[in-house]
Structure 1
């Protein structure tokens, strides 16, 4: 039987002491500062980027001359360099949507530290609920054991742990294990095809007439708590002196708001995982629209000379689209369908919601909210507008386009190395 290597990530919560949290916080801030130093060293040159060797020499010199640079383990510093160089490689790749690397600000940067070598982790299982891992300059740390790790659990899945990454969110520090599993190679399987229309009122509408909907991510009590906290933060911001750090009370309010929003995101991601797994198991070919989501959520404010119209309504629509995370849904579908021998096809989006799937007549007036009524007298089909769009998406599978479309070619002209003035 042919065996394939499958790269996956496994997230686990760390159980840290106060002193260990402080050590990881310092490492994360040092890693961010190192990124900014690398960006300044690489870009402010005479028309060329610094080479890897030049950057590595500069990092070694900085670690000898600057005391606080020693807070970050040497391997983690090298990981920052590799990540920075990969960011430039992605920018110069016309097929990649990444933008130009920039400086990282402290408030907007997610704290993270890389542990690129798995040999120093020494992962062991303590009991049914907890495991232990060794972290550089931190020591032995417990983590929540929720899944067997390849190469660690006796009798568990075949494979190995290739490294880890420490990430901090609103709930604290977590460890993301990079796992490489050995699984049977996927075999192309015949299966029914389905078109999926992503919406706001209903999250996913399928061409077979079924729907995949979800409720609110926060309860009524959580929503009320979030509303009160946002009012509190607005009141506390009014007394803040511009240019001065936020007060401890305002920082605590921000932390509480972040935890509630992180709770909503976790519930949304959990629903997306369960739904996409069910779809990948059921259908062999999944057809979706090739949406330009970034363009869809652009602001409508306009300029001073040409102010926008219906700005508040457009802002609400943008929040609704962003809250559905359409791009993440397709990303999950792609790898889950591929692992099961299926295929995800992207088709052009224009006209799918205005065209009758039965007769092919296209008229914007045919759609009224969630109701579609064909205006062609010879047809007259009526039904749910999203179901009609999903059928059109499924029928358009023969006109598949690249997932990136012409976006990469349009940006290729901008992806040039920095030139001397």
Structure 2
């Protein structure tokens, strides 16, 4: 499986070089297909990759250029060995021959490898349950620090969901409280790594830095250092898996309970930019900003919103986005923004003499998020930019 993954990466790189070196008038899908067939015949280690997987690489590469031409993504580029996820695509589901051995394990046929056992973690349409509407259409093998995994592509016919009649809720994402709901509820989690695992991660990172200090510039990385890097990646992969599991369970519960979910339109990539600055104008509090960036990246706010988007639609609800500026400093009771109202990370005290409301800062922000939606300030993405929708004029009252 490792050899097939390396062959797939090399096939992509060779195809990319061949495509970019040819004149534009000679580039075509037919010519690329002929070049791939010839390369698999003449180069032995490229022949380790199944023909279907090679055709899937060609299809993916051509789709990447179409996405670039349409302005949806950047141009495809070279795949480096140590910065690319090892994966192999199996585009045809009929060759997999998936069977269930018992409750926890199943068997699948991998081209040029044979029958492989895999952990059965989700129901699949196999046997009598498989038909023209519910069937496995393909699979993809992916390797991370914890080993090889297989993800099946399944075509399932589902009925159109009925409109969700549940209540509306505003959600404020944060670090101390991951998800704060406008109805007073919160969604929290434990640290992704236990205390012993965190100590082990720090020890391994220090060991890697110590061993790296003895390596001369341009010298090949030792096997000991590679093993240390592998152990660090395994711990981080375990933390990522726990984070994804918590996100799936939490977003599923929210999508089933609420009919309309309102979140802030955050640009996370701008929030985690480095504060180093330049040589002429160096940044300030760089270490604190780096720690904040790591904490934001660990929470994966963008993935949480992405999961909520399709899960609310699957349950008949909707997800709306509102402008983010001012939601944390504005009082949800009177609507005024006064300096110094956010006394600390957890407490909000309105400095308006006629109000004086106080409460949890995250709960206050989630109420402001919901109130912006009720005022008709939802954002509609149009041609790559956000447009403010004013549905109707609503008297600005406190969100309840």
TM-score (norm 2): 0.91
Paired residues, what number?
A: 383
Q: 2:310 & 2:127 partners in 1: Cα distance?
A: 25
Aligned to 1:265: 240
Matches within 5 A, 1:35-184: 35-46=12-23, 50-94=27-71, 96=72, 98-150=73-125, 152-154=126-128, 159-184=134-159
* Residues 280 and 48 (structure 1), Cα distance of their counterparts in 2 relative to 1, 3 Å cut: farther
Query: Which of the numbers 358, 363, 368 marks the counterpart of 2:338?
Result: 363
Q: Which runs of 5+ in 1 are unaligned?
A: 1-23, 410-421
CA contact (8 A) 1:130 1:143 kept: yes
1:190 correspondence with 2:168: no
Q: CA deviation at 1:245?
A: 3.1
Aligned to 2:396: none
* Residues 222 and 234 (structure 1), Cα distance of their counterparts in 2 relative to 1, 3 Å cut: same
Deviation track 1:142-166 (CA, whole Å, cap 9, x = no partner) reads 111233211x054589711010000
Q: 2:13 & 2:186 partners in 1: Cα distance?
A: 46
Stretches (4+) displaced over 6 A: none
SS at match of 2:320: strand
1:312 correspondence with 2:290: no
* Residues 350 and 235 (structure 1), Cα distance of their counterparts in 2 relative to 1, 3 Å cut: same
Q: 1:327 & 1:364 partners in 2: Cα distance?
A: 29
Q: 2:288 & 2:242 partners in 1: Cα distance?
A: 26
Aligned to 2:350: 374
Aligned to 1:400: 378
* Residues 61 and 156 (structure 1), Cα distance of their counterparts in 2 relative to 1, 3 Å cut: closer
Q: 1:408 & 1:381 partners in 2: Cα distance?
A: 32
CA contact (8 A) 1:192 1:284 kept: yes
Q: 1:177 & 1:408 partners in 2: Cα distance?
A: 35
Q: 1:308 & 1:321 partners in 2: Cα distance?
A: 20
Q: CA deviation at 1:47?
A: 5.9
Q: CA deviation at 1:44?
A: 3.5
Aligned to 1:14: none
Deviation track 1:167-225 (CA, whole Å, cap 9, x = no partner) reads 00111111101111222211112110000000011100001111111111111111111
Aligned to 1:413: none
CA contact (8 A) 1:196 1:390 kept: yes
Q: CA deviation at 1:228?
A: 1.0
Query: Which of the numbers 227, 237, 259 marks the counterpart of 2:212?
Result: 237
State the structure with bigger RCO (CA 8 A, min sep 6), 1 or 2: 1
Q: 2:76 & 2:86 partners in 1: Cα distance?
A: 17
Q: Which runs of 5+ in 2 are unaligned?
A: 388-400
Matches within 5 A, 1:195-344: 195-344=170-319
SS at match of 2:47: helix
Comparing 26-35 with 360-369, which one deviates more in the overlay? 360-369
Q: 1:124 & 1:339 partners in 2: Cα distance?
A: 28
* Alignment root-mean-square deviation, CA: 2.0
* Residues 91 and 396 (structure 1), Cα distance of their counterparts in 2 relative to 1, 3 Å cut: farther
Aligned to 1:419: none
CA contact (8 A) 1:373 1:381 kept: yes
